[in-house]
Structure formats: structure tokens, C-alpha cells
Amino acid sequence: MAEGIRIFLGINTCITPIEALLKRLGLCVPSNLMRLTDAKNLHVTLQFIAAFPSEKLCELIKEVEMLAAKTAVFSLPLQGPAPFPSAREPTHLVLPVASSELSALVSALALMLEALGIAPELRPFQGHITLGKIHDWTRLQPFLDPFKAPMIDTRIMVREIMLYQSTSLEGKSAYTVLKRFALQG
């Protein structure tokens, strides 16, 4: 499937505690060690499709609407910043997120995409919010010491699923919201 549009289903996480954390990181971390995510791009990717057939977009929207109508609002606890995908070879600094509700939603979306003829993601789901792209992990680590404490009592209320289109502009990703799907409750 070479032709199509780059889309993903996600959760918008532009909330004050995460934006404040980004601001603090920006003040403490030299830009040559890590490029911070633009606050307006903060999200949790649930399912990414590199080349979605545009002729199936209406069908996808209808299916996600039905799924959202059956999915209750839920909360996600935030963990402290961590290297991603691993501490041995990190490429990004993230806030890991996990819950049984999130796992169930990701699984339901994968089944829905399979029914539409879209191959599921082969890698296991690792929910996270990307804070920045790491350029030099070894030199970055001492700057992260003040941020190691967990974000106690900070939760994201998940009230909707977003359908985003992803485009690349000058090496940076830009996300456009195509549709919002309200969860129940």
C-alpha cells in the first residue's frame, strides 16, 4: 500500500501539567542535547497508519464513531520522564502512560483497522507522550535528574479520540485534526 495519507488515531494531551513540564525542560536542557516537542503536538498515539487509503476515510470515521460511542471516559496516570524505546538506546524522552482501559481501546482499534483491511502494528503497544527527540543521551542524563520524581496525582482524563493527519515540514511533523470522537460519559 504505497499510496495514501499518513494518519493516526490518538489522544490529545495538551494539558497544563505536561506543558509546564515541557517549559521547565526547555529552561534546563540545552537544545543541542534534545529537541523538545512543540506543546501543540502532545498526544498519545493509539494506532498509526503510514499510508491509509483516502477512499476508506469515511468508513474509518464511521467505525471509530461507533467504537467511541461504546467506550467510557477514563483516566490515565502519568509517570515521570523516561527514555524511549529503551534506556540502552533511547531516541526520545517520553512520559509513559498505561491502564487497562487504554490497552482495551488500542486492541479494539487494531481489530477495527484489521476489519477495514489495514495490517495491525506488529510492535507491542507502549503508550507514551513524547517530550523530545534525544540527540546525546549520555550528556543529557545529568540535566534530567530534577525530573526523575513521578508526576504524583497527575492524570489525563481521556474524553475523546482524535483522528490526525500527519505531514512532514522541514524535518518536523505537523498534525492536523481531521475529526474528534467523543467517548461516553
Is residue 128 part of the annotated active site? The answer reads yes
Is residue 43 part of the annotated active site? The answer reads yes
Annotated active-site residue in 7, 25, 43, 130: 43
Annotated active-site residue in 95, 113, 128, 166: 128
Length of the chain equals 185
User: How far is it, in rounded angstroms, from Cα 1 to Cα 93?
Assistant: 31
Q: Which position has the grid cell 499518513? A: 6
Distances (CA, A) of 33 to 58, 92, 129, 135: 42, 11, 19, 5
Per the DSSP assignment, residues forming a β-bridge with 95 are: 129
User: How far is it, in rounded angstroms, from Cα 147 to Cα 77?
Assistant: 16
Provide the CA 171 distance to its chain's centre, in angstroms.
Answer: 18
Catalytic residues: 43, 128
